[in-house]
């Protein structure tokens, strides 16, 4: 006959925890996955929509370029009726400069939630200097676009900037204007980069 203590030890060894469910999908951390189709990638719906609506090929549908009209034009390339890679990169750089400028003048933006968090120490002098730099960069890029507009008076380059670059609207009749803007900005940024390298 076994003692009460040995029975308790045997019972404790048998009951370690809840039994593990077999044959269920699990996440990387080992938890049971609650996804309906765990084998599918997260961006599957977006890729399928881009392929169906915009006619983008499957291998490039998940790239960031496929998400915007400018990016899809870049994927087409200049020979395919779109824009060149240099033009695309210059337009994206202008878009980032514009975003920095809008932040520097504290323009309201519904997509950016401004909170009270962050570091408690604040360097006003460095902040004012970075704001001034952002304003100068944006204004010089605007001057380059205006110079191209002055050379090409029969087209409206600012409409292409507003509708395609800023608002990401699909205006196929403005692709030629967008190329002119891209060329002007590419020359502008190339000159800036050369000056930085020389300094």
pLDDT 10s digits, 9-49: 777 776 567 778 888 888 777 888 887 776 677 778 888 88
The answer to whether the predicted template modeling score (pTM) of the entire model surpasses 0.85 is no
CA pair distance 48, 73, nearest whole angstrom: 19
The neighbour count for residue 146, using CB atoms within 10 Å, is: 13
Mapped onto helix, strand or coil, the DSSP state of residue 26 is strand
Contact 50, 61 (CB under 8 A): yes
pLDDT tens digits along 63-87: 888 889 999 999 888 888 889 999 9
């Amino acid at each position: 006959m076994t003692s009460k203590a040995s029975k308790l030890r045997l019972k404790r060894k048998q009951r370690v925890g809840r039994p593990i469910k077999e044959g269920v999908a699990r996440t990387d951390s080992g938890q049971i996955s609650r996804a309906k189709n765990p084998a599918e990638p997260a961006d599957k719906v977006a890729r399928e929509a881009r392929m169906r609506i915009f006619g983008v090929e499957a291998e490039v549908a998940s790239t960031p370029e496929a998400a915007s009209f400018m990016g899809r034009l870049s994927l087409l390339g200049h020979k395919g009726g779109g824009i060149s890679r240099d033009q695309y990169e210059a337009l994206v750089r202008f878009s980032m400069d514009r975003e920095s400028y809008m932040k520097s003048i504290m323009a309201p933006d519904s997509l950016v939630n401004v909170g009270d968090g962050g570091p408690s120490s604040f360097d006003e002098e460095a902040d004012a200097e970075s704001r001034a730099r952002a304003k100068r960069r944006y204004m010089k890029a605007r001057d380059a676009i205006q110079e191209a507009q002055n050379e090409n008076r029969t087209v409206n380059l600012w409409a292409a900037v507003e509708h395609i670059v800023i608002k990401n609207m699909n205006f196929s009749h403005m692709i030629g204007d967008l190329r002119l803007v891209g060329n002007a900005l590419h020359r502008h940024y190339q000159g800036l980069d050369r000056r930085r390298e020389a300094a």
